[in-house]
Structure 1
Amino acid sequence: MRVEELLAEARAQLDRVGPAEAAAVLADGGLLVDIRYAALRERDGTVPGALVVERNELEWRLDPACEHRAARVTDHGLRVVVFCDEGYASSLAAVSLRRLGLDRATDLVGGFQAWRAAGLPVTPP
Protein backbone atom coordinates (compact mmCIF):
# COMPACT_ATOMS: atom_id res chain seq x y z
CA MET A 1 0.00 0.00 0.00
CA ARG A 2 1.22 3.51 -0.77
CA VAL A 3 0.79 6.43 1.61
CA GLU A 4 -1.74 8.02 -0.74
CA GLU A 5 -3.89 4.89 -0.47
CA LEU A 6 -3.52 4.84 3.30
CA LEU A 7 -4.64 8.47 3.44
CA ALA A 8 -7.63 7.83 1.17
CA GLU A 9 -8.63 4.85 3.30
CA ALA A 10 -8.40 6.95 6.46
CA ARG A 11 -10.41 9.82 5.01
CA ALA A 12 -13.16 7.44 3.90
CA GLN A 13 -13.76 6.75 7.61
CA LEU A 14 -14.09 10.43 8.58
CA ASP A 15 -16.66 13.17 8.28
CA ARG A 16 -14.00 15.84 7.82
CA VAL A 17 -14.87 19.45 8.69
CA GLY A 18 -13.90 22.84 7.31
CA PRO A 19 -12.67 25.77 9.37
CA ALA A 20 -16.11 27.23 10.18
CA GLU A 21 -17.43 23.88 11.40
CA ALA A 22 -14.27 23.30 13.46
CA ALA A 23 -14.79 26.70 15.10
CA ALA A 24 -18.38 25.71 15.87
CA VAL A 25 -17.21 22.44 17.46
CA LEU A 26 -14.90 24.42 19.74
CA ALA A 27 -17.66 26.92 20.60
CA ASP A 28 -20.02 24.04 21.45
CA GLY A 29 -17.59 22.52 23.96
CA GLY A 30 -15.78 20.13 21.65
CA LEU A 31 -12.04 19.86 21.42
CA LEU A 32 -9.67 21.12 18.75
CA VAL A 33 -6.33 19.33 18.94
CA ASP A 34 -3.23 20.86 17.38
CA ILE A 35 -0.73 18.11 16.53
CA ARG A 36 1.75 20.35 14.71
CA TYR A 37 5.32 20.25 15.93
CA ALA A 38 6.72 23.15 17.95
CA ALA A 39 8.61 24.81 15.09
CA LEU A 40 5.36 25.29 13.14
CA ARG A 41 3.53 26.68 16.17
CA GLU A 42 6.45 29.04 16.80
CA ARG A 43 6.47 30.13 13.15
CA ASP A 44 2.71 30.54 12.56
CA GLY A 45 1.03 30.85 15.95
CA THR A 46 -1.72 28.81 17.56
CA VAL A 47 -5.50 28.50 17.62
CA PRO A 48 -6.94 30.00 20.82
CA GLY A 49 -8.60 27.27 22.88
CA ALA A 50 -6.98 24.38 21.02
CA LEU A 51 -5.24 21.66 22.99
CA VAL A 52 -1.65 21.27 21.84
CA VAL A 53 -0.59 17.62 21.76
CA GLU A 54 2.28 16.65 19.53
CA ARG A 55 1.56 13.62 17.39
CA ASN A 56 3.79 11.21 19.30
CA GLU A 57 1.71 11.73 22.48
CA LEU A 58 -1.74 11.89 20.92
CA GLU A 59 -3.16 8.49 21.86
CA TRP A 60 -2.00 8.74 25.48
CA ARG A 61 -3.36 12.26 25.96
CA LEU A 62 -6.70 11.63 24.19
CA ASP A 63 -7.65 8.21 25.57
CA PRO A 64 -10.27 8.94 28.27
CA ALA A 65 -9.29 5.72 30.06
CA CYS A 66 -5.56 6.54 30.22
CA GLU A 67 -3.96 7.93 33.36
CA HIS A 68 -1.96 10.32 31.17
CA ARG A 69 -5.00 11.82 29.45
CA ALA A 70 -5.49 15.57 29.13
CA ALA A 71 -7.88 16.96 31.74
CA ARG A 72 -10.32 18.11 29.04
CA VAL A 73 -10.72 14.55 27.73
CA THR A 74 -13.46 13.14 29.90
CA ASP A 75 -15.33 10.57 27.82
CA HIS A 76 -15.42 8.73 24.52
CA GLY A 77 -18.38 10.82 23.29
CA LEU A 78 -16.31 13.99 23.10
CA ARG A 79 -16.33 15.73 19.71
CA VAL A 80 -12.68 16.01 18.65
CA VAL A 81 -11.25 17.81 15.61
CA VAL A 82 -7.56 17.16 15.03
CA PHE A 83 -5.50 19.50 12.89
CA CYS A 84 -1.97 19.56 11.56
CA ASP A 85 -0.44 22.15 9.25
CA GLU A 86 -2.22 21.29 6.00
CA GLY A 87 -4.62 18.45 6.80
CA TYR A 88 -2.72 15.27 5.93
CA ALA A 89 -1.24 13.83 9.13
CA SER A 90 -4.39 14.85 10.99
CA SER A 91 -6.50 12.42 8.93
CA LEU A 92 -4.33 9.50 10.01
CA ALA A 93 -4.34 10.76 13.62
CA ALA A 94 -8.13 11.08 13.71
CA VAL A 95 -8.53 7.47 12.57
CA SER A 96 -6.18 6.38 15.34
CA LEU A 97 -8.40 8.17 17.87
CA ARG A 98 -11.46 6.44 16.44
CA ARG A 99 -9.73 3.11 17.00
CA LEU A 100 -9.46 4.13 20.69
CA GLY A 101 -13.24 4.56 20.80
CA LEU A 102 -13.48 8.31 20.16
CA ASP A 103 -16.10 7.75 17.49
CA ARG A 104 -16.73 11.46 16.94
CA ALA A 105 -13.08 12.25 16.14
CA THR A 106 -12.33 13.80 12.77
CA ASP A 107 -9.93 16.29 11.25
CA LEU A 108 -9.82 19.75 9.75
CA VAL A 109 -9.65 19.91 5.95
CA GLY A 110 -6.61 22.03 5.07
CA GLY A 111 -5.36 22.11 8.66
CA PHE A 112 -4.05 25.22 10.39
CA GLN A 113 -3.36 26.89 7.07
CA ALA A 114 -7.06 26.67 6.12
CA TRP A 115 -8.09 27.94 9.57
CA ARG A 116 -5.84 30.99 9.18
CA ALA A 117 -6.88 31.59 5.55
CA ALA A 118 -10.53 31.61 6.69
CA GLY A 119 -9.72 34.55 8.95
CA LEU A 120 -10.41 32.66 12.16
CA PRO A 121 -8.56 33.67 15.36
CA VAL A 122 -4.85 32.92 15.64
CA THR A 123 -2.61 33.77 18.57
CA PRO A 124 0.63 35.07 17.07
CA PRO A 125 3.88 33.31 17.93
Structure 2
Amino acid sequence: MNGFEDLIKASKLKDMMASGSDAATLEEVVIETKDMEHYIDIVYTQAQFPKPRDEAGVEKELDIGEKKKLLITNINIGEDDLRLLAMNRSENIKAYLLSTGKVENQRIFLLEASENDGSNNERTSKVKFSLK
Protein backbone atom coordinates (compact mmCIF):
# COMPACT_ATOMS: atom_id res chain seq x y z
CA MET A 1 0.00 0.00 0.00
CA ASN A 2 1.32 3.39 -0.92
CA GLY A 3 -0.21 6.20 1.13
CA PHE A 4 0.50 8.99 -1.36
CA GLU A 5 -0.80 7.07 -4.36
CA ASP A 6 -3.87 6.03 -2.37
CA LEU A 7 -4.61 9.68 -1.53
CA ILE A 8 -4.39 10.66 -5.19
CA LYS A 9 -6.45 7.67 -6.35
CA ALA A 10 -9.12 8.35 -3.71
CA SER A 11 -9.46 11.89 -5.03
CA LYS A 12 -9.91 10.65 -8.60
CA LEU A 13 -12.34 7.96 -7.43
CA LYS A 14 -14.39 10.64 -5.70
CA ASP A 15 -14.49 12.62 -8.98
CA MET A 16 -15.43 9.50 -10.93
CA MET A 17 -18.32 8.73 -8.59
CA ALA A 18 -19.52 12.35 -8.65
CA SER A 19 -19.62 12.24 -12.46
CA GLY A 20 -21.73 9.07 -12.40
CA SER A 21 -19.05 6.53 -13.33
CA ASP A 22 -19.39 3.01 -12.08
CA ALA A 23 -17.82 2.62 -8.67
CA ALA A 24 -14.37 1.09 -8.87
CA THR A 25 -11.95 0.04 -6.19
CA LEU A 26 -8.86 2.06 -5.32
CA GLU A 27 -6.69 -0.61 -6.95
CA GLU A 28 -8.58 -0.22 -10.25
CA VAL A 29 -8.15 3.55 -10.42
CA VAL A 30 -5.37 4.66 -12.77
CA ILE A 31 -3.89 8.14 -12.58
CA GLU A 32 -2.46 9.25 -15.88
CA THR A 33 0.60 11.47 -15.87
CA LYS A 34 -1.33 14.38 -17.36
CA ASP A 35 -3.86 14.25 -14.47
CA MET A 36 -1.36 13.88 -11.63
CA GLU A 37 -0.78 17.61 -11.02
CA HIS A 38 -4.53 18.27 -10.94
CA TYR A 39 -5.13 15.64 -8.25
CA ILE A 40 -2.06 16.66 -6.22
CA ASP A 41 -3.51 20.19 -6.13
CA ILE A 42 -6.90 18.90 -4.98
CA VAL A 43 -5.48 16.63 -2.28
CA TYR A 44 -3.10 19.33 -1.04
CA THR A 45 -5.93 21.86 -0.78
CA GLN A 46 -8.06 19.41 1.22
CA ALA A 47 -5.20 18.21 3.45
CA GLN A 48 -5.54 18.96 7.16
CA PHE A 49 -1.96 19.81 8.11
CA PRO A 50 -0.31 23.21 8.67
CA LYS A 51 0.77 24.66 5.36
CA PRO A 52 3.71 27.06 4.87
CA ARG A 53 2.85 30.72 5.25
CA ASP A 54 4.68 33.93 4.41
CA GLU A 55 5.51 36.78 6.82
CA ALA A 56 2.00 38.22 6.46
CA GLY A 57 0.43 34.88 7.43
CA VAL A 58 -0.87 34.15 3.95
CA GLU A 59 -0.52 30.61 2.68
CA LYS A 60 2.45 30.36 0.32
CA GLU A 61 1.95 29.34 -3.29
CA LEU A 62 3.99 26.17 -3.81
CA ASP A 63 4.93 24.25 -6.92
CA ILE A 64 3.66 20.71 -7.46
CA GLY A 65 6.92 19.14 -6.27
CA GLU A 66 6.74 20.94 -2.93
CA LYS A 67 3.06 20.05 -2.51
CA LYS A 68 3.84 16.40 -3.22
CA LYS A 69 6.72 16.44 -0.73
CA LEU A 70 4.50 17.93 2.00
CA LEU A 71 1.73 15.41 1.31
CA ILE A 72 4.17 12.51 1.57
CA THR A 73 5.76 13.94 4.73
CA ASN A 74 2.40 14.30 6.45
CA ILE A 75 0.97 10.86 5.69
CA ASN A 76 -0.05 9.12 8.88
CA ILE A 77 1.56 5.70 9.22
CA GLY A 78 0.13 3.62 12.03
CA GLU A 79 1.20 0.44 13.79
CA ASP A 80 -1.08 -1.66 11.57
CA ASP A 81 0.59 -0.24 8.46
CA LEU A 82 4.03 -1.12 9.84
CA ARG A 83 2.88 -4.60 10.81
CA LEU A 84 1.48 -5.18 7.31
CA LEU A 85 4.74 -3.96 5.78
CA ALA A 86 6.71 -6.34 8.00
CA MET A 87 4.53 -9.29 7.01
CA ASN A 88 4.78 -8.44 3.30
CA ARG A 89 8.55 -8.22 3.57
CA SER A 90 8.80 -11.53 5.40
CA GLU A 91 6.56 -13.23 2.80
CA ASN A 92 8.79 -11.87 0.01
CA ILE A 93 11.90 -13.15 1.76
CA LYS A 94 10.30 -16.55 2.25
CA ALA A 95 9.33 -16.68 -1.44
CA TYR A 96 12.90 -15.78 -2.43
CA LEU A 97 14.43 -18.42 -0.16
CA LEU A 98 12.06 -21.05 -1.53
CA SER A 99 12.81 -20.00 -5.12
CA THR A 100 16.50 -20.77 -4.62
CA GLY A 101 15.62 -24.39 -3.88
CA LYS A 102 18.13 -24.54 -1.04
CA VAL A 103 15.56 -24.54 1.75
CA GLU A 104 12.42 -26.68 2.00
CA ASN A 105 9.07 -25.07 2.71
CA GLN A 106 8.67 -27.05 5.96
CA ARG A 107 11.76 -25.40 7.42
CA ILE A 108 10.56 -21.78 7.08
CA PHE A 109 8.12 -20.33 9.57
CA LEU A 110 6.82 -16.79 9.61
CA LEU A 111 6.06 -15.43 13.05
CA GLU A 112 3.93 -12.42 13.91
CA ALA A 113 6.00 -9.29 14.41
CA SER A 114 6.57 -8.55 18.07
CA GLU A 115 6.23 -5.13 19.65
CA ASN A 116 9.37 -3.37 20.77
CA ASP A 117 8.57 -2.00 24.22
CA GLY A 118 11.48 0.42 24.12
CA SER A 119 13.14 -1.18 27.16
CA ASN A 120 16.12 -2.24 25.10
CA ASN A 121 18.06 -0.17 22.64
CA GLU A 122 17.49 -2.47 19.66
CA ARG A 123 16.47 -0.95 16.38
CA THR A 124 13.01 -2.04 15.38
CA SER A 125 13.66 -1.99 11.64
CA LYS A 126 15.50 -5.25 11.31
CA VAL A 127 14.77 -8.87 10.63
CA LYS A 128 15.67 -11.60 13.05
CA PHE A 129 16.45 -15.04 11.71
CA SER A 130 16.60 -17.82 14.25
CA LEU A 131 17.24 -21.54 14.16
CA LYS A 132 15.31 -23.88 16.40
Q: Normalising by structure 1, report the TM-score.
A: 0.22
Select the structure that is richer in helix: 2
Q: Normalising by structure 2, report the TM-score.
A: 0.22
Q: Larger relative contact order (C-alpha < 8 A, sep ≥ 6)?
A: 1
Q: Which has the larger radius of gyration?
A: 2
